[in-house]
Amino acid sequence: MRGDLEWGSVPGLVRSAVERYPDVEAVVEGRTRVTYAELGARVERSAAACLAHGIEPGDRVAIWAPNTLDWIVAALGAVSAGAVLVPLNTRFKGAEAADVLRRSGARLLFVTGTFLGTSYVASLRRAVGEGEGLPALEQVVVLADDAPADYRTLKDFLASGEGVGTAEVRDRAAAVEGVWPSDIVFTSGTTGRPKGAVITHAQTLRAYEIWSDLAGLRQGDRYLIVNPFFHTFGYKAGVIACLMRGATMIPQPVFNVDTVLANIASEAVSVLPGPPTLLQSLLDHPARTSYDLSALRLVVTGAAVVPLTLVERLRDELGVATVLTAYGLSEASGIVTMCRRGDAPSVIASTSGRAIPDTEVRVEAPLGEPGEVLVRGFNVMRGYFEDEASTSEVLSPDGWLRTGDVGVLDEAGNLRITDRLKDMFIAGGFNAYPAEIEQLLSLHPDVTDVAVIGVPDARLGEVGKAYVVRREGAVLTADDLIAWARREMANYKVPRAVEFVGELPRNASGKVVKGELRAMGEW
């Protein structure tokens, strides 16, 4: 049965999971083990606190935190109160997070305390103090044991909802309709301006029922979620899919191959989606054979062409029965094409599979030739949040979404992504957009012109290289600019190399000719 028809909404899915799998482990986080019944109770407490705060259907609630049980509870509580979830990238600096909070008009924010040595609270407070402020943001809830005087801890926030009755919470959750927005995923485009793809409850449920079916996810699976929850791949192919099947979620906040191996062995992990770099590092780990990885049966990867040897090694060396590849983007609910179980290893390694059911994929080129990939179907976003101009650029009147990706379709309908029209490059699994990075670098007082391209990197796949025109008389060095960039932007956006030039190559219309930059030589 179609997911949107079976559950109606994400809160409907949560309620169903509680009823169907009450005693099944829902989330494992260290020594904390929570059943689906217990998870449901926590989510209702979170929703009650949202109601006590005055959150109304359609209000935006943001969350800026790594993969944890608290993230799951806060997010599902917010959508159960009818709110629209706005996940923030944990790699963001304060100014980047504040920009998305401002654009989305979020009324409530859940934020981690300290993560990877950075105080997110201090980063946010500094950005708000230096910027335009966040007039819509009424409350910040810190997912930690302490918080500044004007913020609240999660414990205090949850306690504030104790006066809200269970019946009121369940009535609100039951009132949520499938056509309502469930989340807004902000993804920067070529203009460097963050744009939020609006996805509904019905789209989410229908898409990830399909994903779960094609992947073969089932009750009893133990799912290590390394993909960040702020990505559709982490939240929807992870949390939402597990709720659908009664699988156990094991969130991992940071990718570390030693931790991955330890978790697979100690928790008998059977499902491990992730980028090819994660899988490669797992296979190549010198101590891999000392871990019991025999429970691992399903691997799903994407966002890059997977080497055939990787697929073969996962099957032969680890005994993984099912290895699948897929392709998606936020504007299409995170899923467009997917391989099927039983596909030949060569198909899985060289393509991203075929269009998922009830969707269409076409390439603006003859069969077998590269062209822009277009998608049409139930999975295509309603539009960019409060941005009609950008929406009209990518959505045609008859429903086709221009992905900006270049691909090739074969006779069987398998899609192979070959390039990106938007110049985006993928650094360590994160989408990096040159125009956004250029915009940030241009804020340096000694930079008068700049262009960024993606270049190959053995460890991260691709990294940024900046071609910079210095202000006359400036003595700015490459190391100076890279150090400055590390303070101003997320790490994956920071150029790993800087080359100073007298001027950038431009065409007659004034646009930088990046092909000439790429031809300037290997580095």
**pLDDT tens-digit series, residues 255-267:** 889 999 999 999 9
Overall average pLDDT of the 444-452 stretch: 90
Distance from the first to the final alpha carbon of the chain: 53
Give the pLDDT confidence score for residue 521 in this predicted structure.
Answer: 56
Q: Which CATH class is domain 255-420?
A: alpha beta
Over residues 272-279, the mean pLDDT reads 86
pLDDT of 436 > 80? The answer is no
* Confidence at 197, pLDDT banded by 50, 70, 90: very high
How many angstroms separate the Cα of 187 from the Cα of each of 61, 262, 385? Answer: 17, 33, 11
Q: Is 394 left (phi over 0), alpha (psi -120 to 50) or beta?
A: alpha
Sequence spans of domains, the chain: 32-178, 255-420, 425-518
Digit-coded pLDDT (tens) for 165-184: 999 999 999 999 999 999 99
Query: Does 508 have pLDDT greater than 60?
Result: no
pLDDT in tens, 451-483: 999 999 888 889 999 999 998 899 999 999 999
Tokens of 484: 């400055």
- Tell me what pLDDT residue 124 has: 92
Residues 107-130 have a mean pLDDT of 91
Identify the pLDDT of residue 189.
44
Instruction: Supply the pLDDT for residue 371.
Output: 87
Average pLDDT over residues 130-144: 90
Angle, helices 10-20/69-80, rounded to nearest 10 degrees: 120
Strands (E), 150-256: 152-153, 181-188, 194-200, 222-225, 248-251
How many percent of the chain have pLDDT more than 90? 75
Q: Give mean pLDDT, residues 282-287.
A: 92
- Token output for 85: 């979830």
Are β-strands 337-338 and 354-355 bridged in parallel, bridged antiparallel, or unpaired?
antiparallel
Confidence of residue 246 (pLDDT cuts 50, 70, 90): very high
Residue 276: per-residue pLDDT: 81
Instruction: Report strand pairing: 84-87 vs 108-112.
Output: unpaired
Please, what sign has the CA dihedral across residues 494, 495, 497, 500? negative
Amino acid 490: pLDDT: 93
71 burial (CB, 10 Å; 0-12 / 13-18 / 19+) is: buried
Query: How far apart are alpha carbons 464 and 456 in whole angstroms?
Result: 9
CA-CA distance, 276 to 268, in Å (whole number)? Answer: 21
Is residue 220 scored above 90 in pLDDT? yes
Phi, psi torsion values for 227, nearest 5 degrees: -60, 130
d(CA 270, CA 266): 11
Q: Mean of the pLDDT values across residues 479-494?
A: 95
Q: Does domain 32-178 have CATH number 3.40.50.980?
A: yes
Tell me the average pLDDT across 237-241: 98
pLDDT(45) > 50 = yes
Please choose, from the candidates 478, 477, 476, 474, the residue with its C-alpha nearest in 3D space to the C-alpha of residue 465. Answer: 478
One-letter amino acid at 105 equals G
For the chain, percent of residues with pLDDT exceeding 70: 96
Query: Is the pLDDT confidence value at 1 over 90?
Result: no
Cα-based distances in Å from 137 to 81, 124, 326 = 17, 12, 37
pLDDT digits (tens, 9 = 90+) for 300-352: 987 545 677 888 999 999 999 999 999 999 999 999 999 999 999 989 988 99
Helix (H) or strand (E) holding 311: helix 308-316
Predicted local distance difference test score (pLDDT) of residue 190: 38
Q: Is the pLDDT of residue 422 over 80?
A: no
Q: How confident is the model at residue 420 (pLDDT cuts 50, 70, 90)?
A: low
DSSP state of 307: P
Averaged pLDDT, 64-90: 97
- Which amino acid belongs to residue 473? G
| 255-420 has the same fold as 32-178 | yes
Mean pLDDT for the stretch of residues 275-279:
82
What is the pLDDT, as a whole number, of residue 131?
67
Structural class in CATH, domain 425-518: alpha beta
Confidence of residue 191 (pLDDT cuts 50, 70, 90): very low
Q: What are phi and psi of 484, to 5 degrees?
A: -65, -45
